[in-house]
Amino acid sequence: MNLFDYKTLKLESAGEHVLVARLNRPEVRNALDTQMARELCELWTRLAEQPGEIRCAVLTGAGERAFCAGADLKERDGMSDADWRAQHEVLERSFAALAECPLPVIAAVNGDAYGGGLEIALCCDFVYAVREARFAQSEVRLGIMPGGMGTQNLPRAVGERRAKELTLSARPFSAEEAASWGLVNRVCERAALIDETLACAGAIAANAPLAVRQAKKSIHYGLQMDLLTGYRFEIEAYNRLVGTDDRLEGVRAFNEKRKPVFRGR
């Protein structure tokens, strides 16, 4: 995958198989505007269609103040109802593209994640965060409600009752609280955040890429089904791997007591 230039995103490689994407509007705490939403949608779509050698992505924010402060309200100031809905459609597509991305995406939350910023993190597969990070599903304070899968992903992460408390009160909460509820997987010291996230991303990228994608898909969609239907979906995903070169290589390497060389085939 070629690392094309974006106006609001900064892309860099971290080894052969890991991509780091930074939300790059630090002057406005990486607020999500229309341009960023379009570029995020394009990025996740490109990773789905033509990942090349990329097997895992890390999403973080530029600077130390914020991962993402939410939607850019200055851009929205004075919008007509029709313009607001049209702009929100662009944001919706970016959230959906991230949630549907077949490659694992880890959020490295380097600062505050409010409103749409929290929703971006929740659309990732899991979250590492700095100890200083604060989170909030804060939309009701503005006369709106979460519109980036927040009412769906937050209860899946922390449970229905806690999600109602957090969404309806709009109260901020800490990284430690988020970790204790299951929203954040690991709380990191600031200097270690990217290194620890990249270590995990590297471990994922070292595994068979087709197997990783199928396992992600099975977890993601299986949780939306009853147990036995989810299990049947799992077996369909499993059987897609039986005829792959990577399955043959994995078993052969195990028996030859060597590290496998996976090709994504």
Active site positions, annotated: 71, 116, 119, 139
Residue pair 141/166 in contact (Cβ under 8 Å)? The answer is no
- Of 77, 66, 81, whose CA–CA distance to 22 is shortest? 66
Instruction: Please enumerate in sequence order all residues whose Cβ is within 8 A of that of 219, keeping only pairs 6 or more positions apart, or say none.
Output: none
Phi-psi region of 96 (alpha: psi -120 to 50; beta: other; left: phi over 0): alpha
* Sequence-ordered alpha helix ranges (H) in 4-70: 34-49
Q: Residue 19 in contact with residue 50, Cβ under 8 Å? A: no
Task: Say if residues 94 and 45 touch (Cβ distance below 8 Å).
Answer: no
